[in-house]
Amino acid sequence: MNMNLALLAAAKSTDINGGVIAIIVIAVIILILAISCIKIVPQATTFIVERFGGYRATWNTGIHFKWPIIDKVAKKISLKEKVADFAPQAVITKDNVTMQIDTVLFYQIVDPKLYAYGIERPIMAIENLSATTLRNIIGDLELDQTLTSRDIINTKMREILDEATDPWGIKVNRVELKNIIPPREIQNAMEKQMKAEREKREQILIAEGQKESAIRVAEGEKEAAILRAEAKKQAAIKEAEGQAQAILAVQEATAKGLQMIKDVGADEGLIAIKGLEALEKVGDGKSTKIIIPSDLQGMASLATSIKEIVKDKE
């Protein structure tokens, strides 16, 4: 009897423990499911959520909750700008020159729903679309235009690709021609042309330098001649001024001498003696022509008288 009661009590205790464990297990499962249904969407990212395989919602940045089993995150899409570097494409210009062009495309997803359901493998679609667009644009240009019209080609490609990718939820921001590789023989011809052009510019620069040098030399000689003429002019002016001053000084001295003679009241005898002294200097043998004043006869008589007086004294 006692043994039966003990077994019954043990069985009840086992059932209670089993129930508690089951409850704990269920609670843990529910907690795990609840945690797994909480989703945190990071910055610049969106989640595409489906319910029973159909589109339900687009989750933006923040905390979101989905129903277990019936809801699932189908795609995680980054909204950051991306770069697609495509392989070089063989294109033919209008003048039948085949070249390789390497393009780089910058794009951004602006509509996650269209990106998720609009087209299968959108990047491959953009690559093929860019290749066909590039061939169409280059086919209307000649080689020289292709090499010098990168900005025009970039703009046309961006406009065409941006319009074509709108149904896919993609915006094409920029398209750049990374590299243009013409055939080897075309490159050799271009190098020769560039070399000839550089030599031409070199000859032009040398000629312009020589011309400039000749102009500078001529201008220098002209300025030197002007300076020499100006110096001669100034010298002549100074010389004329000096002569004028000398003549003026002689005239002033003569005038002063005459005024002094007048002031001392010199008589005719003194004037005659001074005239003879002047004649003696004039007739020293160096002059070839002597002009004698008409009144010199009286002076000669006076001189004779003076000589006789001197003899008598001796």
pLDDT tens, the chain, 314 aa long: 545 545 555 555 555 666 677 788 787 887 787 777 888 899 989 999 998 888 999 999 989 888 888 888 889 999 999 999 888 888 888 888 888 898 999 999 999 999 999 888 888 999 999 999 999 999 888 888 888 888 889 999 999 999 999 999 999 999 998 888 887 887 777 777 777 888 888 888 888 888 888 888 888 888 888 888 888 888 888 888 888 887 877 777 777 766 666 665 555 555 555 555 555 555 555 555 555 555 545 554 544 554 454 445 45
The amino acid at residue 47 is: F
Question: With the C-alpha atoms ordered 84, 87, 93, 99, is the resulting torsion angle positive or negative?
Answer: positive
Question: With the C-alpha atoms ordered 135, 136, 139, 142, is the resulting torsion angle positive or negative?
Answer: negative
Burial class (CB in 10 A: 0-12, 13-18, 19+), 126: buried
Distance CA 202, CA 193 (A): 14
pLDDT of residue 303: 47
DSSP assignment of 71-118 equals EEEEEEEE-S-EEEEPPPEEEE-TTS-EEEEEEEEEEEES-HHHHHHS
Q: Which residues of 41-61 are buried (b: 16+ CB within 10 A; e: fewer)?
A: beeeebbbbbeeeeebebbee
pTM comes to: 0.53
Distances from the Cα of 305 to the Cα of 75, 274, 280, 308, 314, angstroms:
157, 16, 18, 5, 15
| Residue listed under structure tokens 């297990």 | 25
**Strands, sheet with 54-59, edge to edge from the N-terminal-most edge strand:** 54-59, 45-51, 71-78
pLDDT of residue 310: 42
List the Cα angle 42/45/49 in 5-degree steps.
Answer: 100
pLDDT of residue 12: 53
Which residue(s) pair with 62 in the sheet? Answer: 41
Question: With the C-alpha atoms ordered 187, 188, 189, 192, is the resulting torsion angle positive or negative?
Answer: positive
| Residue listed under structure tokens 């794009």 | 107
Question: With the C-alpha atoms ordered 250, 255, 261, 264, is the resulting torsion angle positive or negative?
Answer: negative
Distance CA 264, CA 259 (A): 9
